[in-house]
Chain A
Amino acid sequence: MSLEYQTLVWWVLFLPLFAAVAITLFTLRFRAVSALLSIGAIVTGFVFTVMFIHANGFHVNVDTSKAWLAIGNLQIDFGLKIDALSLMMLLIVTGVGGAIHIYSVGYMHEDEGFSRFFACLSLFTFSMLGIVLANNFIEMFIFWELVGVSSYLLIGFWFEKPSAGDAAKKAFIVNRLGDFGFLLGILMVWGILGTLNFTVLHDKFGTAAALGTSATIAGLLVFCGAVGKSAQFPLHVWLPDAMEGPTPVSALIHAATMVAAGVYMLCRIFFLLNPDALSVIAYIGGFTALLAALIAVQQDDIKRIIAYSTLSQLGYMVMAVGLGGPTAAMFHLTTHAFFKALLFLSAGSVIIALHHEQDIWKMGNLRQKMPVTFYAFLIGTLALSGLWPLSGFYSKDSILAQALGQHDLEGYILFTVGVFVAGLTTFYIFRLFFVVFLGKEKSKTASHAHESPAVMTLPLVVLAILSVLGGLIGIAGIYHTMFNGETEASAGFANTLFEPFIHSPVAASLGLLAFAIGISAAYVLYAKAEKDPLPEKLGGLAVAMKNKFYFDELYEATFVRAHDFIAAVMDWIDRWLLEGFCIGLIRGGTDLTGRMLRLVQTGNLQTYAFVFVFGVALVLWFVLK
């Protein structure tokens, strides 16, 4: 079956790759052309996606593939899986990504590596689209790794700064740890079921029961991939460090797309996860949400606060998957992509206005000087903290309702965690908001700030509109139909507006209560604060939060040390046993024999003649004997 405009989807996937190649090979010197190619590729992708959806609607199910390679009875295809899930992700990646591409023109304006930046962005977009459209595990894994590589390039974009290089390496290596488990999980699925194609897996097996007794292990191994990419505990340490990259990168990779890949993958293979695996996933997600929100409360770097917020929100999504609600997870992923990209880009606008100052205690009173950024950030803040009727409220509420709807201990525990984290979220993001935009200027640079150019503020406006309306335009309905099979009756605008209060009044009202408590606490503490009052009140806990609960130090003391020790042992073995003993013996033996044999070569002609005659005589004697 072939649908109208189906080839367009191939173009959506490959245009960014063409752009990346063209920029790298030909237009590195021509900044404007590079930007135009990169933006053109992603915007065209967005337009093509919209055309496809316009012609066919969301609810298609196409699996088109071309045989790529066959090893034994492992047949690997390169194909596209087009359904509501991947189409929505296409819209997010090309739409939000496109806004960020345009914003980058302003943000990277003065950078020497302008063209290189856009080449990397396009390569990243290509990899991300590949994950979204992959129709089998192997293809997804390849693009999964490509995303890792391109994020490495982007995080380490300012590679002359040692901290950026370290952060890039950290992100790549930590991701590889998770990918190792992911690959094992893929192999396990292939070993048991004999196919890796998502459609075949879904139609033929449908449930985790097909995996038999190994279902839990296989599910958790696959989940390892999501732990790495979506930065869940215990592999969450790379994401905050990844803020070393330029701010558009943070917005693109660490808010809207790359970290979403893990959640997307879990939703894609949701039917393969059994209750035990889901339970672990839910608790890890809930724990990550809580941990990251606590850390975010005591950070002082504007980007790091938002980064920890991303971690926390990803925890929500993973928790939603674990609670059996891929609809809620994908819904939150979508709205989060809107408002988190908005927050990052507004933060970037602030950072540029203050000449790369990122400490929030050196900002303040930016409200008058940067009105567009101020309102954009305010909307992002409100959406993130979940104020009705902004998008964040609906998606967060659907997760809380999912937890509450379970009616068991796990559901109640995670619901409590969810509400508590919602309060914390409001608290830390308004702490940031009050300190940065209200109060007095806390440094000279802050008093000389001015608004960013239109190329930067325009994407902010678009994202702000999406952040406001994201909950009301039927996104949840599309996911619902995708995962549950039935079409939800079209509810009408007013019904959608108040739906959470009817569907699960407890979750909705408690969510709003958490918002109210969070914002009042933040107002009391931070509205006029010159410096952070919390450390005095909380003492040791605040220090621990500020130091991210010492996870980096813990990993340094255990894993890094252990790794260094093994490396030192291996180095010794290589240097002394292999090179010294084995290789040295052979080399030395050959050398010694050679030196001895050399003595035979006297250089005297007559000695040779004598030996020759002696040899002939010997042969004659043997022959004639």
Chain B
Amino acid sequence: MHVGLEHYLTVSFLLFALGMLGVIMRRNLLVIYMSLELMLNAANLALVAFSRFNNKLDGQVLVFFIITVAAAEVSVGLALIVALYRRRQSAHVEDLTGMKL
């Protein structure tokens, strides 16, 4: 079976949709965070696929950027979540309603 661009994009879309559902549905901050990473990697997959099928390296370069930035973001984000947990003894979004009047 020939594997074409649309297959890659379908997988990428499924991953992205799963991640988005996770962000919207799950209650635990840590899981939401993992879902966000899933969405980023779905985008990476799409970019790599485009790069491969267009015979250009632009997409791959962008992917490296995203991975680097994501790594930095994860370190900051996880630190924030740990700090939050220490203060509130909870990592559930329902408990984080400080912005509400």
The residue that A606 contacts in the complex, of B93, B98, B100, B101, with Cβ under 8 A, is: B93
Beta-carbon contacts of A596-618 to B below 8 Å, as 1s and 0s? 00100111111001100100000
Whole-angstrom distance between the alpha carbons of A613 and B21 in the complex? 10
In the complex, the answer to whether A610 meets B24 with C-beta atoms within 8 Å is yes
In the complex, the answer to whether A605 meets B96 with C-beta atoms within 8 Å is yes
Beta-carbon contacts of A210-250 to B below 8 Å, as 1s and 0s? 00000000000000000000000000000000000000000
Query: Which residues of A does B touch, CB under 8 Å?
Result: 598, 601-606, 609-610, 613
In the complex, the answer to whether B20 meets A604 with C-beta atoms within 8 Å is no
Q: Which 10 A-B pairs have the closest CB atoms?
A: A603-B100, A603-B97, A605-B93, A610-B24, A603-B99, A609-B24, A609-B23, A606-B24, A606-B93, A613-B20
Residues from chain A with a CB closer than 8 A to the CB of B94 are 604
The residue that A604 contacts in the complex, of B23, B25, B97, B101, with Cβ under 8 A, is: B97
Whole-angstrom distance between the alpha carbons of A288 and B71 in the complex? 100
Chain A nearest Cβ from B13, distance in angstroms: 12
Beta-carbon contacts of B62-97 to A below 8 Å, as 1s and 0s? 000000000000000000000000000000011011
**What would be 12 A-B contacts, judged by CB atoms less than 8 Å apart?**
A601-B100, A602-B100, A603-B97, A603-B98, A603-B101, A604-B93, A604-B94, A606-B23, A606-B25, A606-B93, A610-B24, A613-B20
Whole-angstrom distance between the alpha carbons of A604 and B96 in the complex? 8
In the complex, the answer to whether B97 meets A613 with C-beta atoms within 8 Å is no
Whole-angstrom distance between the alpha carbons of A610 and B98 in the complex? 19
Considering only residues 1-54 of chain B, those with a C-beta below 8 Å from chain A are 20, 23-25
Chain B nearest Cβ from A237, distance in angstroms: 63
Whole-angstrom distance between the alpha carbons of A333 and B23 in the complex? 98
Chain B nearest Cβ from A603, distance in angstroms: 3
Whole-angstrom distance between the alpha carbons of A605 and B93 in the complex? 7
In the complex, the answer to whether A613 meets B24 with C-beta atoms within 8 Å is yes
Residues from chain A with a CB closer than 8 A to the CB of B96 are 605
Whole-angstrom distance between the alpha carbons of A605 and B101 in the complex? 14
In the complex, the answer to whether A598 meets B101 with C-beta atoms within 8 Å is yes
Residues from chain B with a CB closer than 8 A to the CB of A602 are 100
Residues from chain B with a CB closer than 8 A to the CB of A609 are 23-24
Whole-angstrom distance between the alpha carbons of A603 and B97 in the complex? 5
6 additional A-B pairs beyond A613-B20, A613-B24, beta carbons within 8 Å, are A601-B99, A603-B100, A605-B96, A606-B23, A606-B25, A609-B23
In the complex, what residue of chain B is closest to A614 when comparing beta carbons? B24
Chain A nearest Cβ from B28, distance in angstroms: 11
Residues from chain B with a CB closer than 8 A to the CB of A603 are 97-101
Chain A nearest Cβ from B62, distance in angstroms: 20
Residues from chain B with a CB closer than 8 A to the CB of A606 are 23-25, 93
Chain B nearest Cβ from A74, distance in angstroms: 59
Residues from chain B with a CB closer than 8 A to the CB of A604 are 93-94, 97, 100
Chain A nearest Cβ from B16, distance in angstroms: 11
In the complex, the answer to whether A601 meets B24 with C-beta atoms within 8 Å is no
Q: Which of B23, B24, B93, B101 has the most CB atoms of chain A within a 10 A radius of its CB?
A: B24
Chain B nearest Cβ from A592, distance in angstroms: 16
Whole-angstrom distance between the alpha carbons of A402 and B25 in the complex? 109
Whole-angstrom distance between the alpha carbons of A602 and B101 in the complex? 8
Chain B nearest Cβ from A576, distance in angstroms: 33
Whole-angstrom distance between the alpha carbons of A168 and B53 in the complex? 97
Whole-angstrom distance between the alpha carbons of A226 and B23 in the complex? 87
Chain A nearest Cβ from B22, distance in angstroms: 10
Whole-angstrom distance between the alpha carbons of A604 and B97 in the complex? 6
In the complex, what residue of chain B is closest to A617 when comparing beta carbons? B20
Chain A nearest Cβ from B11, distance in angstroms: 19
Whole-angstrom distance between the alpha carbons of A601 and B97 in the complex? 10
Whole-angstrom distance between the alpha carbons of A506 and B94 in the complex? 112
Whole-angstrom distance between the alpha carbons of A606 and B97 in the complex? 11
Whole-angstrom distance between the alpha carbons of A591 and B25 in the complex? 34
Chain A nearest Cβ from B1, distance in angstroms: 29
Residues from chain A with a CB closer than 8 A to the CB of B24 are 606, 609-610, 613
Chain A nearest Cβ from B36, distance in angstroms: 10
Residues from chain A with a CB closer than 8 A to the CB of B98 are 603
Whole-angstrom distance between the alpha carbons of A605 and B97 in the complex? 8
Chain B nearest Cβ from A118, distance in angstroms: 64
Q: Which of A604, A605, A609, A610 has the most CB atoms of chain B within a 10 A radius of its CB?
A: A605
In the complex, what residue of chain B is closest to A607 when comparing beta carbons? B24
Whole-angstrom distance between the alpha carbons of A613 and B23 in the complex? 10
Residues from chain B with a CB closer than 8 A to the CB of A605 are 93, 96
